[in-house]
Amino acid sequence: MMQQKLHVTLLTGRTIEQGVGKEYGKSSPEYFEACSMVYMDAEDMKKIGVKNGAKVLVTTPNGSVVLKAVKHPRGSMSGLIYIPYGLWANSIVSNATTSIGMPSFKGTPAEVEAAPDQPILSMRELLKKEFGR
């Protein structure tokens, strides 16, 4: 049966595309493509009725962001989602530094739902929305 929302564990991290994009320049289309996406398990995508390349809304206690859902190409990662490091991931990651300076960039709870009608914000739009500049 199709679910409205899926409860998952959020991971953020490096991808080679993000690495290449950041070196081209963070305003480059390569960087936007590489960072405004989320890897999901194929079975999980079916559960919320999301096709490869469709838009999803990822929500945590710290905020929400619209991203392009991409099927994780290798193995199962049921219950996990993976967003490349970048502004899009940062708008929802946990602030909890557990008193050592390091926020919990990996392994925090999140919710995913289909968001076919919502736009993926560009870097400029995201900066304006979050920081007003």
CB of 78 to other proteins, least distance (A): 3
CB of 16 to other proteins, least distance (A): 4
Q: Which of 39, 61, 57 shows the shortest CA–CA distance to 48?
A: 57
CA distance 50 to 70: 10
- Please state the separation of Cα 132 from the chain's center in Å: 22
DSSP 66-104: EEEEEE-SSS--TTEEEEESSHHHHTTS----TTTT---
Of 4 and 97, which has the nearer Cβ to other proteins?
Answer: 97
Q: Which of 130, 110, 112 shows the shortest CA–CA distance to 122?
A: 130
Binding mask 45-84 for other proteins (x = CB under 8 A): -----------------xx--------x-xxxxxxx-x--
CA distance 107 to 42: 20
Of 28 and 54, which has the nearer Cβ to other proteins?
Answer: 28
Q: Determine, following the binding rule CB under 8 A, whether residue 15 of this chain makes contact with other proteins.
A: yes
Q: Determine, following the binding rule CB under 8 A, whether residue 20 of this chain makes contact with other proteins.
A: yes
Residues that bind other proteins (CB under 8 A): 9, 11-16, 19-28, 39, 41, 43, 62-63, 72, 74-80, 82, 85-87, 90-91, 93-95, 97-107, 123-124, 127, 130-133
